Amino acid sequence: MVDFFNYLAEHGIAYERHDHPPVYTIEEADRLVPPLSAAKTKNLFLRDSKGRQHFLVLVSGDKQVDIKGLQAVLGTSRLSFGSPKRLKEYLGIEPGAVSLFAVVNDTEHKVEVVADKTLWSASNFQFHPLVNTSTLVVSKEGVIRFLESTGHTPQVIEVPERVA
């Protein structure tokens, strides 16, 4: 397991840190995280029906993802959420701390990063730093530098939205 803040420093990735009580949902984050000048993200850890493909899907905090539509776009079999055990195995984190930054622990590149096109157009993002008691604001350039440093290339697509 990497010392995450040292990793960011070693790779010249600037951030603004905001500590807060633990948050497990977007609703809790809305209440407990101060308003920040960055796109709020929702990060979904998904797997295919055979457990051979794993995806970390990044969308804006208010987007409701159409999982069936997403599996069609990704060309994969039935998608479902990865279990806490699988989350720990592949990304080294606990539920509630799912974040793009967790791919720092995916040294074997078993998790594909998928970013929603609308979210990806933002200039700054909010992500947990592997725990759900802090939120970091990072510029798009910093996010790109981070992904390059981990060897992950995001697939930027229009993630289908669930219609109410």
Check whether 11 has a pLDDT greater than 60. yes
pLDDT digits (tens, 9 = 90+) for 82-110: 999 999 999 999 998 999 999 999 999 99
pLDDT of res. 164: 73
Burial category of 61 from C-beta neighbours within 10 Å (exposed 0-12, middle 13-18, buried 19 and up): middle
Note if the pTM is more than 0.85: yes
Assign domain 4-157 to its CATH architecture: Alpha-Beta Complex (3.90)
Domain boundaries, the chain: 4-157
CA separation for the pair 99, 38 (Å, rounded): 15
pLDDT of res. 2: 64
Instruction: Report the sign of the C-alpha dihedral through residues 55, 125, 122, 7, in that order.
Output: negative
pLDDT digits (tens, 9 = 90+) for 27-50: 898 899 888 999 999 999 999 999
